[in-house]
């Protein structure tokens, strides 16, 4: 039986920290679903279709190709655990940067386990990326700053041209 994990996020945009978590999750699970989720509490800068494209380009840039055991998709209808159940995922993998993330993610992890028996696995980021968030990247980019230390070349180029 193969193990399937879902790595969800808004990925608006995907950062090197996200890529690190995805790559490390792939060492633990047989199949990885990178799922762009719609968060109604956030105003997205990048349309979902472009976020999926940037995830794909970033993975190719980092890994040389998208591994055959990866699925990159989006989910905006219903609960994330419904998606997990549909694809046979037993785990949700979340990167956490600080105690604030732990406090935010823990209640969701408990509810997801109660609703569908899906466990949440927290992965700590590479310390080089622990301070980086998508919102920080958006802010720096919007104000004309250099985001190349925080994102793939594909994302940096997209943001540069999208915000011109």
- Please, what's the b/e burial string for 89-121 (b: 16 or more CB within 10 A of its CB; e: otherwise)? bbbbbbbbeeeebeeebeeebeebeeebebebb
Name the residue with tokens 């793939």.
Answer: 152
What does the alpha-carbon distance between residue 121 and residue 91 come to, in Å, rounded to a whole number?
A: 7
Rounded to 10 deg, the angle between the 153-162 and 48-63 helix axes is: 150
In order of 19, 75, 124, 153, the CA distances from 33 in angstroms are 13, 11, 19, 23
Binding residues: 10-11, 18, 42, 80, 94-97, 105, 129-135
Q: Under a CB-based contact definition with an 8 Å cutoff, are residues 88 and 4 in contact?
A: yes
Binding residues for substrate: 10, 42, 80, 94
Read off the pLDDT of residues 34-73 as tens digits, 9 standing for 90 and up. Answer: 999 987 777 889 999 999 999 999 999 999 999 999 999 9
Read off the pLDDT of residues 127-162 as tens digits, 9 standing for 90 and up. Answer: 999 999 999 999 999 999 999 999 999 999 999 988
Binding residues for ATP: 10-11, 18, 95-97, 105, 129-135
Domains parsed from the chain with CATH numbers:
4-162 (3.40.50.620)
Identify the pLDDT of residue 1.
63
- Closest to 59 in 3D by CA, of 68, 87, 38, 31: 68
Residues 6+ apart with CB under 8 A from 144: none
């Amino acid at each position: 039986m193969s193990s399937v994990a879902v790595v969800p996020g808004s990925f608006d945009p995907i950062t090197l920290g996200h890529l690190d978590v995805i790559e490390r999750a792939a060492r633990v699970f047989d199949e990885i679903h990178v799922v762009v989720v719609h968060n109604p509490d956030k105003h997205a800068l990048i349309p979902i279709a472009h976020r999926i494209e940037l995830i794909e380009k970033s993975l190719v840039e980092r890994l040389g190709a998208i591994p055959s055991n990866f699925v990159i998709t989006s989910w905006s209808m219903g609960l994330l655990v419904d998606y997990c159940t549909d694809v046979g995922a037993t785990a949700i993998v979340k990167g956490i940067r600080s105690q604030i993330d732990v406090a935010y993610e823990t209640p969701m992890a408990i509810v997801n386990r109660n609703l569908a028996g899906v466990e949440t696995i927290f992965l700590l980021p590479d310390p080089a990326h622990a301070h980086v968030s998508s919102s920080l990247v958006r802010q720096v980019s919007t104000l004309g700053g250099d985001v190349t230390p925080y994102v793939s070349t594909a994302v940096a180029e997209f943001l540069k041209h999208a915000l011109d």
